[in-house]
Structure 1
């Protein structure tokens, strides 16, 4: 029993699990154990470290029983060097991961984009307030992507990607460069010449791209509403807003001029019509393909409620006004 309590052996019992804890973390990283697991990724990687540490702790007693004292001393030296190396490695990894984002952008910046032309910006800002999607087939997509330009001064666009690889393993093909205005807010300093987003009004912090498809890390967005050109963006560089949430934040909705849709008392086709005269329809709630609306008069006062069908078979049935 005294053999197991010698100082060199006690140190060995400590160094083995601590060192192999970091071995477990590296092993988890090597096999991408936490990839695609979102919030559970950290717990999975940590679990590998704990598992390796536990096995090493048990193994350390077996090694001590059958190993001479001088070999354990040598093992302690090796484990100490290994542990210091692990600590340095993970410290460097931590600093790189938490370095300022502008520096990251400078490291991987793609070829320079053209300066944003004033004429293009005027065209984008001139998109009518009451907005029906510019897709001739009226395919509404999934919703909208809006970049977080307060935290990310660049929005990268990507071409063909490998869905099995992370965003960091892909090179961007182009980008938008945002600049802060002196009086507050943001403008676009540089942008591709083909960029025509769905909505752009930066004096109201509005920049929306229609989402055509959504993946684990990428979102395919429509970057030119006239040609329906698409590109991929890192979905974590902004906010994903699906249609129900988007429509509940607009100012008002209405039926297109050629629509045969009616305001109903309840959310089904056979319900009675609501025939109150009104000026605006304010979204209140959404239930599947139906939207409950408040009917407002010219004084912006509610005079009644009803239900309208806002989409059918993936086709948008209403126009909407973002501001007024």
Structure 2
């Protein structure tokens, strides 16, 4: 039941955005009620093209973005889950104190964001290692392999997908059944000690990931 709830709460990001460029990794915003972010079309611009400000919204007991309905016209990041202070962009370029991030996952629009104490960059590998869990997309019936190749032996697995990530090798991730993926979460009958699945093919994301339980 909890895994199903996570699927619903994740705002469908991994399904909606799977065709957008994956980039180098992800930039997480370390936000609070005083966070102000400036987005520039070019790093040489003196004035930002877009600005968002956070505030303490007592009506929802959470930090919120000023004029959020208006900002949503262009602001469609990888994750925007304010209840959990989760605000994340895919990063396309990381250079000289700047990140070029995808601010609109629907059309691929990009802006530049300054690297600061408010920003944290993670490679896809480190990001996925930090997730509560991952699962294979139901629309992509890939098998679990013994090594990161399509012609390696298949590992037979029965039960729902509920995997942690150990490592990454190119388009593949090494997975295992995490300790919390017991019978109270899924109907796992054959816990997985080690196996490999593709996490992407080109810019197509082949997994769903869950930030929390």
For Structure 1 versus Structure 2, the TM-score category normalised by the shorter chain is: 0.7 to 0.9
The size of the alignment, in residue pairs, is 192
TM-score (norm 2): 0.76
- Give the equivalent residue in structure 2 for 1:155: 37
Which has a greater percent of helix?
1
1:241-287 deviations in Å (ceiling 9; x for gaps): 21011111222222223324211223333332111212123223113
CA distance in 2, matches of 1:322, 1:280: 15
Equivalent position SS for 1:247 = helix
Task: Tell me the TM-score normalised to structure 1 length.
Answer: 0.52
User: Which structure ranks higher in relative contact order (CA pairs < 8 Å, sequence separation ≥ 6)?
Assistant: 2
Partner of 2:101: 221
Flag structure 2 segments of 5+ consecutive residues without an equivalent.
Answer: 1-8
The residue number in structure 2 matching 1:93 is none
Label 1:276 to 1:260 Cα distance change in 2 as closer, same or farther (>3 A).
Answer: closer
- Structure 1 spans left out of the alignment, 5+ residues: 1-124, 163-168
Q: Deviations over 1:173-218 (max 9, x none)?
A: 2211011245965211245342122211111111111112222111
The aligned residue for residue 249 of structure 1 is 130
Task: Kindly indicate which of the two structures has a greater share of residues assigned to strand.
Answer: 2
Pair 1:128–1:258, CA change in 2 (3 A): closer
Counterpart of 1:299 in structure 2 is: 184
Aligned to 1:177: 53
How far apart are residue 234 of structure 1 and its match? 0.6
Mapped partners of 1:127, 1:266: distance in 2: 32
- Listed one character per residue, the Cα deviations across residues 68-97 of structure 1 (whole Å, up to 9, x for unaligned) are xxxxxxxxxxxxxxxxxxxxxxxxxxxxxx
- How far off its partner does 1:315 sit? 4.3
- Root mean square deviation of aligned Cα: 2.8
Give me the whole-angstrom Cα distance separating, in 1, the residues matched to 2:66 and 2:212: 25
**Following the alignment from structure 1 to structure 2, what is the Cα–Cα distance between the partners of residues 281 and 126?**
15
